[in-house]
């Protein structure tokens, strides 16, 4: 197409898409596109409407505004040729525009007061650009990845403390809204659907209202036609679901009710974290030998495959240190914190890779068993683990947990 610039279409097919029936680029476009390097690709997904998406990645900062990030530039259309052409036209308009930024409106039409801005002439968006106003409860509106990270304002009176909200457009075009509140001490999940985002939120909120005003929950272990033994239950009156009952399964050592499993074995946390690393690995991998006996694979391992054995050792060692030392075997505190320890383990694994000089692409993959056994690696792990209890105490103190 334009011989002199660095525009690099991804495939031949896309190149032809941009040059239809003698379409030419204006001198202005030519000079504009010769100043930076970019690539355009077109994708197609029948489940979405419109189904064609043109995406342009720009490698050079182009918009006449210092705070604009180089996010991929996107346009959807029913026709692939028009998708690319519209994308190009909108892009040129945004580069040429003398912007005037105003508060962005979400898809319900509510103006955001968090400073997220949109140019009223060309539609260019900059997050957290204008001075922030009064606090609103907002959530990420996931419009099929097209307005990535864009926020919407909650219209209903959701509990503000620790109630995660999210919403967006599902495949097929229905709008959804999801909330993760705690109702009567039970962490739960509520989903509403509708023709608009506001309708979906209203549907979810009416479920929330019914569940939080239920006078006395009557729990059933049969959830969606399936008997659950782990304590997960549903209220027969209001439909509230969550870990409401004691597990029916018990620890193999002490008979304490627990749904915690190591491989195929039920073990309470105390008995899990009194195992040695080798004992733990042996129990944890016991189900692998029996795989052919028709046992269902856990949904997680079906999705992600089995965790690398060295990563599993890492996690066990970090959890064990945390449970026995930092949390003094306080199961509730430990459970509330557990997800953070995954990040700590990741950082620790990185430090170990550095210690033995693993760099570049290699460093992204995990250590293998030989590398794990390396004395330098073991010493890095031990140093970090000694500091873990103090580190957790510090973080909890900042969160006001040790007044
Ligand atoms: Zn503008
Ligand atoms: Zn109920
Ligand atoms: Zn036990």
Read off the tokens for 314: 């890492």
Record the tokens describing residue 29, joined without a space. 């476009």
**Ligand that lies nearest to the alpha carbon of residue 102, given by its number in the listed order:** 1
Question: Is 163 within 8 Å of 179 (Cβ atoms)?
Answer: yes
Q: Is residue 167 located within the same domain as residue 239? A: yes
Rounded to whole angstroms, the Cα distance separating 31 from 4 reads 10
CATH number of domain containing 57:
3.30.160
For residue 234, the model assigns a pLDDT of 97
Domain limit, last residue, from 189, 212, 243:
243
Residue pair 22/50 in contact by the 8 Å Cβ criterion: no
For residue 252, is it within any domain? no
Do residues 220 and 280 both lie within one domain?
no
Among 69, 96, 123, the domain boundary falls at 96
Residues 220, 182 share a domain? yes
Measured distance CA(392)–CA(386) in Å, rounded: 11
Considering the domain architecture, whether residues 214 and 277 belong to the same structural domain is answered as: no
Is 134 part of a structural domain of the chain?
A: no
Query: What does the pLDDT read at residue 71?
Result: 65
Quick one: DSSP state of residue 323?
Answer: I
Distances (CA, A) of 124 to 5, 320, 321, 373: 25, 50, 49, 53
Question: What pLDDT shows up at residue 276?
Answer: 96
- The number of domains in the chain is 3
- Same domain assignment for residues 265 and 379: yes
Name every residue whose Cβ is closer than 8 Å to that of residue 309 and which is 6 or more positions away in sequence. 281, 285, 369
Q: Do 267 and 239 share a structural domain? A: no
Asked whether residue 256 is assigned to any structural domain, the reply reads: no
Residues 70 and 184 grouped into a single domain: no
Ligand 1 mean position to 51 CA, how many Å? 27
Residues 217 and 310 in one domain: no
Closest CA relative to residue 112, chosen from 94, 145, 136: 136
Domain ranges, residue 164: 139-243
Closest CA to 239 of 264, 258, 257, 213: 213
For residue 269 the two structure tokens come to 């946390």
Specify whether 206 is located in the same domain as 303: no
What per-residue confidence (pLDDT) applies to 306? 64
d(CA 344, CA 319): 10
Distance 168 CA to ligand 1 centre (A): 26
Identify whether 123 is part of a domain: no
Q: Which ligand is nearest to the CA of 271?
A: 3
Tell whether 238 and 319 lie within a shared domain. no
> Ligand 1 centroid vs 84 CA: distance in angstroms?
20
Q: How far is the CA of 94 from the centre of ligand 3 (A)?
A: 63
Question: Which pLDDT does position 192 carry in this prediction?
Answer: 96
Is position 384 within any domain? yes
Distance 244 CA to ligand 1 centre (A): 53
**Is position 394 within any domain?**
yes
Q: How many CB atoms lie within 10 A of CB 321?
A: 22
Q: Based on the fold, state whether residues 147 and 200 are members of the same structural domain.
A: yes
The predicted structure's pLDDT at residue 321? 93
Instruction: Kindly give the confidence (pLDDT) of every residue in the chain, 403 residues in length, as a single tens digit, with 9 standing for 90 and above.
Output: 332 233 344 344 444 445 444 556 677 777 777 776 777 777 777 777 777 877 777 766 666 554 455 566 777 788 877 777 788 888 888 888 888 999 999 989 999 998 988 889 988 888 888 999 998 999 988 865 555 568 899 999 998 767 889 999 887 778 999 999 999 989 899 999 999 999 999 999 999 999 999 999 999 999 999 999 999 999 999 999 999 999 999 999 999 999 999 988 999 999 999 999 999 999 998 876 655 544 455 554 555 556 788 888 988 999 999 999 988 888 888 887 888 888 888 889 888 988 888 776 555 567 888 999 999 999 999 999 999 999 888 888 887 777 6
Q: What is the DSSP annotation of 166-228?
A: EEEE-TTS-EEEEEE-EETTEE--EEEEESSHHHHHHHHHHHHHHHHT-SS--EESEETTEE-
Asked if residue 393 and residue 298 are part of one domain, the reply reads: yes
5 within domain boundaries: no
Where among 243, 274, 298 does a domain terminate?
Answer: 243
Give distance in angstroms: CA of 257 to centre of ligand 3.
9
Classify residue 116: in a domain, yes or no. Answer: no
Question: What is the whole-number distance in angstroms between the Cα of residue 264 and the centre of ligand 3?
Answer: 15
């Amino acid at each position: 197409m334009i011989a002199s610039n660095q525009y690099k279409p991804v495939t031949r097919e896309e190149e032809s898409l941009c040059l239809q029936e003698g379409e030419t680029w204006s001198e202005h476009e030519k000079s504009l596109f010769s100043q930076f390097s970019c690539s355009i690709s077109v994708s197609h997904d029948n489940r979405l409407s419109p189904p064609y998406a043109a995406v342009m990645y720009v490698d050079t900062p182009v918009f006449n505004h210092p705070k604009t990030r180089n996010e991929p530039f996107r346009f959807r259309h029913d026709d692939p040729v028009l998708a690319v052409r519209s994308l190009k036209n909108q892009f040129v308009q945004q580069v040429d525009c003398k912007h005037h930024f105003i508060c962005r409106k979400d898809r319900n039409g509510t103006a955001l007061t968090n400073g997220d801005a949109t140019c009223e002439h060309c539609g260019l968006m900059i997050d957290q650009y204008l001075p922030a106003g009064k606090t609103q409860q907002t959530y990420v509106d996931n419009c099929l990845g097209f307005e990535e990270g864009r926020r919407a304002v909650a219209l209903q009176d959701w509990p503000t403390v620790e109630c995660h909200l999210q919403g967006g457009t599902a495949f097929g075009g229905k709008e959804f809204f999801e909330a993760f509140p705690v109702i009567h001490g039970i962490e739960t999940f509520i989903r509403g659907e509708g023709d608009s985002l506001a309708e979906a939120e209203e549907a979810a909120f009416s479920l929330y209202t019914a569940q939080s005003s239920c006078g006395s929950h009557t729990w059933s272990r049969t959830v969606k036609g399936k008997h659950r033994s782990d304590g997960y239950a549903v209220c027969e009156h209001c439909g509230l679901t969550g870990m409401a009952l004691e597990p029916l399964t018990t620890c193999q050592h002490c008979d304490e009710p627990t749904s915690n499993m190591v491989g195929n074995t039920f073990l309470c946390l105390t008995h899990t974290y009194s195992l040695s690393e080798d004992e733990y690995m042996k129990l944890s991998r016991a189900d692998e030998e029996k795989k052919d006996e028709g046992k269902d694979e856990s949904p997680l391992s079906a999705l992600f495959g089995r965790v690398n054995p060295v990563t599993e050792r890492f996690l066990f060692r970090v959890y064990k240190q945390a449970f026995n030392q930092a949390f003094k075997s306080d199961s509730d505190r430990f459970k509330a914190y557990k997800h953070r320890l995954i990040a700590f383990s990741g950082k620790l694994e990185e430090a170990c890779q550095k210690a033995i000089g693993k760099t570049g692409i290699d460093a992204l993959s995990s250590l293998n068993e030989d590398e794990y056994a390396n004395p330098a690696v073991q010493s890095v792990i031990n140093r970090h683990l000694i500091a873990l209890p103090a580190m957790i105490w510090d973080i909890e103190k900042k969160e006001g947990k040790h007044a």
